[in-house]
Amino acid sequence: MPYTADKPGITPSAEALRARIPGWGADLDPADRPAFPREQPGIVTGAHWDLPVQQPDPGQRERSVEHRRLTPVFGTAQPLKGVAGAIRRYAYAKYSEGQAAHWLLLVVGDRVDAATAHVKSFTTLRPDNPLTESGVLGERGRRPVASRVGRGRIDLKHAWMDPLLVFGPWVVTAVVAVRLLRRIVRRQMR
Amino acid sequence: MKAMVYRGPYKIRVEEKPDPTLEHPNDAIVRVELASICGSDLHLYHGMMPDTRVGHTFGHEFIGTIEQVGSSVQNVKVGDRVMVPFNIYCGSCFFCSRGLFSNCHNVNPNATAVGGIYGYSHTTGGYDGGQAELVRVPFADVGPSVIPDGITAEDALLLTDAFSTGYFGAQLADIVEGDTAVVFGAGPVGLAAARSCWLMGAGRVIVVDYLDYRLEKAKSFAFAETVNFGQVDDIVRHLKNATEGLGADVVIDAVGAEADGHVMQHVTSAKFKMQGGSPVALNWAIDSVRKGGTVSVMGAYGPLFSAVKFGDAMNKGLTIRTNQAPVKRQWPRLWEHIRSGFISPRDLITHRIPLDEIADGYHVFSAKLDDCIKTVVTPA
């Protein structure tokens, strides 16, 4: 017990560990550890510039208000657009990274983005397919029952929520759409 | 080109997208040979990372062949077979010039708190990732390395993040000879961290998880003692008893944002996104490490707040060390360890799938079916 100065318990000897574990102690000397010290001023990186040249900005690239300038290089994967884009742009323009509103608005933007994308997909030749896109068909041949049952998996306490989270929005959307449609039809029949 | 595309939480598919183009003189375009699904990709897949946009292609672990280079590229050339670190970094800013490659200030306009990462939302810069046939690789003179002789494709792939991150986590723990190390999480990063603790001279390594098949892997791959926290009443008390009341000298959190073990913590974060992550493993780490010990955090958390027991951390005088791994700094030493036969990162791989089946691959990994630990994706 740690009530006296000696470290409690028995630690195997270095020889015993070296015999049992391939490579035991190979990096015992911190000098052999590549991340020691963590900061190494002047480390060789391959860069041959002091400041990289600026990547052209194709438009109004959003950026954190904590940045004083657009970074020299940036991703252009999915530019802001639509309602979700407006929410995200507001989050970037208004709030710093230190404010919860910044991140919460970005999460709201994500949900709006996903919902509008699903609705739009029905106007395309490839509408969203919850069966193939959720990967649930991949359960075939991957021991879906044996992987879950009788193995003491504590995540099963909340795993039942997953189908609700995946399919719930579809059901809600369908219910809302049917009610709206019914209301429109009733109005027209009056 | 063909690419994995995010459609919303829990939904992805493969689409035809325009080929990436050179957007900066130091860009390269890499044709992906192998990619893999990382545990942190699941945070995106589950909708936990803010500013994950529909249409985004995930994937920050990949190797491939350089197909095009920009006008200023001089350290690699077309046809080179390269491994690409998950970090995108310039090599010249305040942080990069000190070796903090994962904290680059010149590649991510969307946030200052995190650097650039391939395929990891716009919060890390808005770069499409490598679960695709082609990918844009910025700063080709800085990031990619030619895969050296004697290193297999799958070993190289595992060094682009998972194994290097685990190894980095063990380094941050500042292990001295004979230390007792506890690793929370027996996923690829946790297994790599546990294996690496021995390289640093640990005297005991204990891996904690709730999945028996992963704990079996911890025994065979990482030579570790194991504890299934689902089978003990109180994991902190169990670990204290296992260390004669002292606590572990170092604890590594290799779980991160979707930690299980406390239903409310998990549900409020992973399901309802009310926290940046479920800090269950982190809180256990704080409580099970000895006073004056070190907690190394490799688990990925989102940018929102989390309910962390910081009072215990302060009162115990802990050193908490963290960072995304600057993986390229780890490579020369890890190549040596592979050649010496000390480590075999590819032994973590359990599943290999074509890109067309990637939706199934994510589900199997997420639901932990078929004893899945690491899935490799082949675009071709």
Instruction: Label residue B347 by pLDDT band (50, 70, 90).
Output: very high
Which of B120-148 are b and which e, b meaning 16 or more Cβ less than 10 Å from the residue's Cβ? bbbbbbbbbbbbbbbbbbbbbbbbbbebe
pLDDT reported for residue B162: 98
A10 located within any domain? no
Q: Residue A167 above 80 pLDDT?
A: no
Q: Output the pLDDT for position B273.
A: 81
Kindly state whether residues B233 and B248 are assigned to the same domain. Answer: yes
Give residue-wise pLDDT tens across range B43-65.
Answer: 999 999 999 999 999 999 999 99
The predicted-structure confidence for A74-84, as pLDDT tens digits, reads as follows 999 999 999 99
**Whether residues B179 and B260 fall in one domain:** yes
Give the C-alpha separation, B183 to B215, whole Å.
Answer: 11
Number of domains in chain B: 2
Whether residues B247 and B105 share a domain: the answer is no
As a whole number, the mean pLDDT across chain B is: 97
**Is residue B315 over pLDDT 90?**
yes
ipTM score of the complex? Answer: 0.95
Residues of B in contact with A67 (CB under 8 A): 109, 112
Mutant choice from B5, B6, B11 vs A, greatest count of A C-beta within 10 A: B11
Cβ-Cβ pairs closer than 8 A, A with B, add up to: 321
Contact map slice: B 171-210 vs A, CB within 8 A: 171-172, 174, 177-178, 180, 196, 198-201, 203-204, 210
Question: pLDDT digit string (tens) for B114-133?
Answer: 999 999 999 999 999 999 99
Range(s) of the domain holding residue A109 = 61-67+77-128
B176 has a pLDDT exceeding 90: yes
Scan for tokens 């004893």, then name that residue.
Answer: B371
Q: Residue for token digits 């499409």?
A: B128
Residues B300, B173 share a domain:
yes
Nearest to A26 by CA among B342, B156, B175: B342
The answer to whether residues B62 and B181 belong to one domain is no
**Average confidence (pLDDT) over B322-334:** 98
Contacts of A48 (CB under 8 A, 6+ apart): B72, B74, B141
How far does A185 lie from chain B, in Å, by closest CA? Answer: 32
Instruction: Give the pLDDT score at B13.
Output: 98
| CA end-to-end distance (rounded Å), chain A | 84
Q: Are residues B127 and B12 in the same domain?
A: yes
SS3 content of chain B, % helix, strand, coil (to 5): 30, 25, 45
Same domain, B223 and B310: yes
Clarify whether residues B205 and B309 are in a common domain.
yes
**Residue A83 belongs to some domain of the structure:** yes
B362/B317 same-domain check: no
Give the separation between CA A66 and CA B113, rounded to whole angstroms: 9
Domain identity same for B361 and B285: no
Total domains in the fold of chain A: 1
For residue A171, what pLDDT is reported? 85
Residue A117 within a domain: yes
Note the pLDDT of residue A169: 74
Taking every pair of C-alpha atoms in chain B, what is the biggest distance, in angstroms?
A: 62
In a domain, A188, yes or no: no
Question: pLDDT grade, residue A189 (50/70/90)?
Answer: confident
B371 is in which domain, residue-wise?
A: 2-161+326-378
Q: Among B287, B306, B322, give the residue marking a domain's end.
A: B322
Please tell me if residue A138 touches chain B, with a CB cutoff of 8 Å.
Answer: yes
Residue B244's domain is classified under what CATH number? 3.40.50.720
Radius of gyration, alpha carbons of chain A: 28
Q: Are residues B274 and B127 in the same domain?
A: no
Tokens of B283: 């809180």
Percentage of residues in chain B having pLDDT higher than 70? 100
Per residue in A4-29, pLDDT (tens digit) is 999 998 889 999 999 999 999 999 99
Residues B10, B142 within the same domain:
yes
Q: Tens of pLDDT along B235-265?
A: 999 999 999 999 999 999 999 988 888 888 8
Rounded average pLDDT over B31-36: 98
The mean per-residue pLDDT over the stretch B78-90 comes to: 98
Residue B338 belongs to domain with CATH number: 3.90.180.10
Residue B371 touches chain A, beta carbons under 8 Å: yes
Rounded to 10°, the helix B280-288/B235-242 angle is 30
Residue A106 lies in a domain: yes
How does pLDDT run across A101-127, given as a tens digit for each residue? 999 999 999 999 999 999 999 999 999
pLDDT tens digits for A35-61? 999 999 999 999 999 999 999 998 899
- Measure the CA–CA gap between B63 and A143, rounded to whole angstroms: 30
Per DSSP bridges, beta strands B62-69 and B81-84 are antiparallel
Measured CA to CA, the distance from residue B303 to residue A104 in angstroms comes to 10
